[in-house]
Chains A and B, each alone.
Chain A
Amino acid sequence: MKDDKSPPGLNFRDLSQADKDLVDKMVKGGSGPVTRRDALKLAMVTGVSLTVAEQLLTNGKSVMAATPKKGGSLRMASNLHGPNDTLDPIVFTSTIDYTRGRVTYNSLCQIGEGLVANPDLAESFEPNQNATEWTFKIRDGVTFHDGKKLTADDVVYSMRRHQGENSKSVIKSLLESVSEWKKTGPLEVKAILSSPNADLPGLMGLYQAKVVQEGSTGGGIGTGPFVMESFQPGVKSIHVRNKNYFRDGPNLDAVEITAITDPVARVNALLAGDMQIVANVEPQAFRQIESSSTAKLLSIPAGLQMGICCLKNSAPGNNNDFVLGMKYIQDRERIVKRVLKGKGTVGNDHPIATAHGADYCSELPIRPYDPDKAKFHFKKSGYSSAELFVAPVMSGIEDACLTAQANCAKIGFDLKLKKVPTDGYWGAVWMKEPLNVVSWNMRPTANIQLGIQFAPGAAWNDTYWNNDRMGELLKLALAETDPAKRHQYYCEMQTLVHNESGMVIPAFSNVNDGLANNVMGIPNVPTGQVGGSEWPEYVWLA
Chain B
Amino acid sequence: MMTRMVMQRIGIGFATLWVVSVIIFVATSILPGDVAEIVLGQSATPETLAALRAELGLDQPWYVRYFSWLGDMAVGDLGISKAGGATISSLIGGRLGNTLMMAGWVSVISIPISIALGLWAAMHPGTWLDRIVTFGTLSLISVPEFFIATIAVLVLAVELHWLPSTAYMTGEESFWELMKALAMPLITLVIVVSAQMIRMTRAGILNVMSSPYIEMAILKGVPRGRIIMRHAFYNAIGPIINVIALNLAYLVSGVVIVETIFAYPGLAKLMIDGVQTRDLPLVQACAMIFCGTYVVLILLADIGSILSNPRLRNPK
Which residues of A come within 8 Å of B, CB atoms? 75, 77, 82-86, 91, 93, 165-173, 232-236, 258-262, 264-265, 268-269, 271-275, 423-424, 426-428, 430, 438, 440, 459-460
Contact = CB atoms under 8 A, between A and B. Distances in A.
A265 B150 CA distance: 8
A424 B282 contact: no
B94 A93 contact: no
Nearest to B171: A230
A269 B154 CA distance: 10
Given A272-B165, A424-B32, A427-B32, A264 B55 contact: no
Contacts of B277: 82-84
B43 interface: yes
Contacts of A264: 150, 261
The 3 closest A-B pairs by CB, nearest first: A427-B33, A84-B83, A428-B32
Interface-centre pick from A83, A269, A424, A440 (highest chain B CB count, 10 A): A83
Interface in B258-286: 260-263, 265, 269-270, 273-274, 276-277, 279, 282
Interface size range on B against A:
35 or more
Contacts of A262: 260-261, 263
A77 B164 CA distance: 14
Contact of B33 (A86, A171, A428): A428
Interface-centre pick from B47, B86, B165, B260 (highest chain A CB count, 10 A): B165
A423 B38 CA distance: 8
A168 B166 contact: no
B153 A268 contact: yes
Contacts of B108: none
Interface string B160-173: 01001110100000
A428 B43 CA distance: 14
Contacts of A91: 39-40
Given A83-B83, A83-B86, 14 more contacts: A83-B274, A93-B40, A93-B41, A170-B43, A170-B48, A233-B84, A234-B269, A234-B270, A260-B263, A264-B150, A268-B154, A272-B157, A274-B168, A440-B42
Contacts of A260: 166, 263
Nearest to B165: A272
Contacts of B310: none
B38 A427 contact: yes
Contacts, number: 140
Contact of B42 (A85, A235, A273, A460): A460
Contacts of A259: 263
A77 B158 CA distance: 17
Given A84-B279, A262-B261, A271 B31 contact: no
Interface in B13-34: 31-34
Nearest to B93: A232
Contact of B85 (A86, A169, A268, A274): A86
Contact of B263 (A84, A168, A269, A426): A269
Contacts of B157: 268, 272, 274
Nearest to B55: A168
A232 B188 CA distance: 26
A459 B45 contact: yes
B81 interface: yes
7 contacts: A83-B81, A172-B48, A264-B261, A424-B33, A427-B38, A428-B33, A459-B47
Given A173-B45, A268-B154, A459-B45, A274 B91 contact: no
Contacts of B282: 83
A233 B92 CA distance: 11
A233 B279 CA distance: 14
Contacts of B94: 232, 235
A168 B165 contact: no
A172 B49 CA distance: 12
B164 A274 contact: yes
A265 B261 contact: yes
Contacts of A274: 157, 164-166, 168
B51 interface: yes
B10 interface: no
B221 interface: no
A82 B166 contact: no
A101 B177 CA distance: 31
Given A84-B84, A268-B157, A167 B91 contact: no
A430 B166 contact: no
Nearest to B275: A423
A426 B43 CA distance: 9
A269 B166 contact: yes
Contact of A168 (B46, B51, B276): B51
A460 B41 contact: no
A265 B40 contact: no
A172 B165 contact: no
B192 interface: no
Nearest to B88: A83
Contact of A271 (B39, B46, B158): B158
